[in-house]
A and B are shown apart, each in its own frame.
Chain A
Amino acid sequence: MIEFVSGISVVCFAASYLVALACEASRLLFRSGVRGAAMIAFAAAGLFAHTLFLLWRAANEHAVPLSSAFDWYLLVAWLLAGGYLWLTISNPKTPVGLFMLPLVLGLIGAAHLSSREPFPQSPATQVWGAIHGIFNLAASVAVAIGAISAAMWLIQAARLARKQAPTQGFRMPSLEKLTATTSRSLGLAAWTASAGFISGLVLNAVNRRQGLLETVPWDDPVVLRMAALVAWLVAAALVSRSIARRPNAARVTAWLSLVSLGVLTFSILWGLFGATRHGVPPSRPAAIVGEASQ
């Protein structure tokens, strides 16, 4: 059993999710009586392997979730994959996987490129570090869900505007439901990203005052990109709220949510390929984090 669990790699569950995505895509091409079961089976197998992989790392490599960039991305992917499985079982006719699984696979790809080295920690800053990680995690999941919901809203609205009956295998939820999900996700993303950013500032300040760990400069690219993301999300949430009683509010909110995902993606790519002192142990020089994992 131990041999089996230790043999699970990122490729195992990524491949399962990829097959589930292929099944989802085949909805558009042909009808099948067994596809639903196959889709759920592959997604469930992937999620099971994904869970075992995270547990194995936590138990044997002392890499608890959120303790490194690698684990952080995998945990976001795990949450979205779990959400996908739940939504597919509860709404089998909605092709939610076409929107969620590419994000899951993208996050797994980001994990693959990011550092597996644990973030530097000290007992005094452990709590702030956890708060910082959890809020950023929640913000990322909220942005992802909001963007997925927004994309579905735009597709559904385009179909209704073209006055076409739903396409077989591509039935979207109602605009009412999607509007509510998009709007709530955007609000939640703004709150949690703000809390994540502020807790990061506090964490950095505590480190700086106590001289426990090397601090991240205030003009570090990670600080700047997070500040930009938070500013965007707060502005987007405020705009969405202020136009809530206008006829085109849902459409504007949908676009704001999609752009939010773009900003988050840009921020992740910047984090992956830019030089930073964020999450780098004190002894190391500022480096490209992706290279640190090589």
Chain B
Amino acid sequence: MTIAFVGGTHRTVPLLLRERLAFSAEQAAEALRRFRSRFPGREVVLLSTCNRVELYTAGESQSPPPADQLVSFLAECRGIDAGLLEPVLTPQQDEDVVRHLLSVASGLDSMVLGEPQIVSQVKQAWALARQNDACGPLTGEMFEAALRTAKRVATETGLGRERLSIPSVAVADFARGVFERFDDKRVLLIGAGKMARETLRYLREAGARDIIVINRTAERADQLAKSLGGRPGRFDDLAAELAAADLVVSTTGAPEPVVTPTVFARAEADRQGRPLVVLDLAVPRDFDPRIGDRPGVWLYSIDDLGSACDANRRSRQREMPAAVAIVEEETRRFMGDLHHRSTAPVIEQLRAGWSETGEAELDRLFRRLPNLDDTARLEIRQAFDRYAAKMLHPPLASLRNESHSGPPHGLLDALRRLFDLKE
């Protein structure tokens, strides 16, 4: 049994080449069919995401297709010169492939450490292979092990728990710390940078409905409000809008603070003590930092949020050793099972040989003792079976133990010679 792999990730393949190499679902299905006809008897799964293209193949044969053939196959499927791919795609075999797949599924090999989307992408790749009759028992067990490992890493470590993007941290770790719900809150959007839109997406997911968009240009505010599903406001009414808002997301490109302590003081008088969360995502800042010292105001600049993201990133890094240990444990378990499976033909022959000899001896015995009744015959037969099982137990247990540390070739050879088994 052999497992082989060839693939490249964001670390090895430049973006331009990665874009050309990426497979759509239809293209991946076609590639799987072509692989099966090109390499009969080999199971195959193709994992293609925006950050990686990886081909996993497994089969009963002793030697897998050479790596250059797999690279050529991928190049041919995507119409790329194989010479461009050879230096950037990495080949791997057997245990290294399993370890790699388990790491990938657990998010340890992702651009954003521990990101959870990769698990569903691995599931989709495996499902596509099943739909196209491209995978079999070996890849099936391998991908099952990968998903089991991903689940263990997710539940037993904190690798994927902390958020890493500024908008998600802003909403989940800070805005949600102040507000229980958002469907009764007013969100004020000042300016419309890309990050503000992303933050607004998280706020909408959290339930925010009442969104006011203001911009120095009224037409731009109208357009943005329409595209973001909010209502346009007037920039001249900034103080009034601040008084009515519960949460402000600000991303103007203004060189000076848009909201000064003087502007805020006008709004503060009308706020009646309601708390205000300000996510100032602009550089330079839109809110004078002194506003953050006012009671009931929770002001977060992009640096504050960035620091929280960095802390979360460090926290994920601290979980790495535990996650790697799980991957190692599952890899060893899978390889042990795989090696044990390779001993199946020998075990079968061994059992068959003992059974055949036993049956012959039993027949001879029953012919010499014709007066035995059925109960006695059954007892004798069961005693023979128990004897055979007990005699076979030590060599089979040795085989199983030996499988944990690698293919038990030496022991298999010894058994074949000792018991005169065929290759």
Which A residues contact B (CB, under 8 angstroms)? Answer: 31, 33, 156, 159-161, 163-166, 168, 172-177, 243-251
A164 x B296 contact (CB < 8 A): no
B178 x A175 contact (CB < 8 A): yes
B256 vs chain A, min Cβ distance (A): 23
User: At the interface, yes or no: B268 with Cβ under 8 Å from chain A?
Assistant: yes
CA distance A156 to B273 in the complex (A): 18
Pick the residue among A166, A177, A248 that contacts B173 (CB under 8 A).
A166
Count residues on chain B whose CB falls below 8 Å from chain A CBs: 33
B15 vs chain A, min Cβ distance (A): 31
User: At the interface, yes or no: B394 with Cβ under 8 Å from chain A?
Assistant: no
Is chain B's interface secondary structure helix, strand, loop, or mixed overall?
A: mixed
CB-CB nearest in chain A for B303: A163
Q: Which residues of chain B (369-410) have a CB below 8 Å from chain A?
A: none
A31 x B158 contact (CB < 8 A): yes
CA distance A249 to B162 in the complex (A): 32
CB-CB nearest in chain A for B181: A176
Pick the residue among B177, B181, B272, B297 that contacts A166 (CB under 8 A).
B177
B176 x A174 contact (CB < 8 A): yes
- 8 more A-B residue pairs beyond the given contacts A166-B177, A247-B268, with a C-beta to C-beta distance below 8 A: A160-B174, A165-B169, A168-B161, A168-B315, A172-B177, A174-B176, A247-B295, A248-B296
Pick the residue among A33, A173, A249 that contacts B180 (CB under 8 A).
A173
Q: Which of chain B's residues have a CB closer than 8 A to the CB of A251? A: 295
CA distance A159 to B181 in the complex (A): 19
* 30 A-B residue pairings within 8 Å (CB atoms): A31-B157, A33-B156, A156-B177, A159-B177, A160-B174, A163-B174, A163-B300, A164-B311, A165-B169, A165-B311, A168-B158, A168-B161, A168-B162, A168-B315, A174-B176, A174-B180, A175-B178, A175-B179, A175-B275, A176-B180, A177-B180, A244-B273, A246-B295, A247-B268, A247-B294, A247-B295, A248-B296, A250-B275, A250-B296, A251-B295
B295 x A175 contact (CB < 8 A): no
B273 x A245 contact (CB < 8 A): yes
A174 x B161 contact (CB < 8 A): no
A78 vs chain B, min Cβ distance (A): 29
Pick the residue among A33, A160, A166, A246 that contacts B273 (CB under 8 A).
A246
B243 vs chain A, min Cβ distance (A): 13
User: At the interface, yes or no: B148 with Cβ under 8 Å from chain A?
Assistant: no
* Contacts A33-B155, A247-B296 given; does A160 touch B272 at CB 8 Å: no
CB-CB nearest in chain A for B179: A176
Residue interface mask B48-70, A partner, CB < 8 A = 1 = 00000000000000000000000
CB-CB nearest in chain B for A159: B177
B335 vs chain A, min Cβ distance (A): 25
CA distance A194 to B273 in the complex (A): 29
CA distance A164 to B174 in the complex (A): 8
A52 vs chain B, min Cβ distance (A): 35
CB-CB nearest in chain A for B185: A176
CA distance A164 to B163 in the complex (A): 13
Residue interface mask B267-297, A partner, CB < 8 A = 1 = 0100111010000000000000000001111
Pick the 5 closest A-B CB pairs, nearest first. Answer: A247-B296, A247-B295, A248-B295, A163-B304, A165-B308
A160 x B177 contact (CB < 8 A): yes
B317 vs chain A, min Cβ distance (A): 14
CA distance A250 to B179 in the complex (A): 13
Q: Which of chain B's residues have a CB closer than 8 A to the CB of A244? A: 273
Q: Which of chain B's residues have a CB closer than 8 A to the CB of A156? A: 177
* Contacts A31-B158, A248-B296 given; does A163 touch B308 at CB 8 Å: yes
CA distance A280 to B257 in the complex (A): 70
Interface centre among A33, A173, A249 (most CB of B within 10 A): A249
User: At the interface, yes or no: B223 with Cβ under 8 Å from chain A?
Assistant: no
B330 vs chain A, min Cβ distance (A): 16
Residue interface mask B305-316, A partner, CB < 8 A = 1 = 001100110010
CA distance A244 to B155 in the complex (A): 43
